[in-house]
């Protein structure tokens, strides 16, 4: 399964990108979405921040398991060290809610949990 994952996302047979987004770019969608380049899960992974609702759309940069916010799953992450470093990029944002591809929506103490996840032992 790992090889299939890498072939799709790391070595695709044809380009699967039609437009490159820049880190920090604001997309004119829903009142504005800030692009946050969060590589690690995949090389070009992005997350989006919706300032009006203080919602982070984390994609696969974060997961929610049993109601707890966690970092990207090591089983489906190309570069775990890079994925953990990418979490640092969330710290400047005032986040009241996070939407994760795996786990859905979580509210409350998001910035604190992200800070806890980025503390290196």
- Condensed to tens digits (0 to 9), the pLDDT of residues 50-86 reads 999 999 999 999 999 999 999 888 888 889 899 999 9
pLDDT at 7: 77
Please give the Cα distance from 94 to 50 (Å, whole number): 10
Tokens 């409350």: give the residue.
108
pLDDT at 16: 67
User: Any idea which fold 2-118 has?
Assistant: Metallo-beta-lactamase; Chain A (3.60.15)
Q: Which backbone phi and psi does 106 adopt, to 5 degrees?
A: -140, 140
Summarize pLDDT for 46-60 with one digit per residue, the tens. Answer: 999 999 999 999 999
The residues spanned by each domain of the chain are 2-118
Please give the Cα distance from 41 to 87 (Å, whole number): 11
């Amino acid at each position: 399964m790992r090889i299939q994952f890498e072939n799709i996302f790391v070595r695709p047979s044809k380009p699967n990108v039609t437009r490159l987004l820049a880190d920090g770019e604001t997309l004119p969608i829903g009142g504005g979405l800030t692009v946050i380049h969060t590589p690690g899960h995949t090389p070009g992974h992005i997350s989006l921040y919706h300032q009006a609702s203080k919602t982070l759309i984390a994609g696969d940069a974060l997961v929610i398991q049993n109601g707890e916010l966690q970092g990207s799953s090591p089983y489906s992450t190309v570069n775990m060290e890079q994925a953990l470093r990418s979490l640092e990029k969330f710290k400047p944002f005032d986040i009241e809610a996070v939407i994760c591809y795996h786990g859905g929506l979580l509210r409350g103490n998001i910035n604190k949990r992200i800070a806890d996840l980025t503390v290196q032992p």
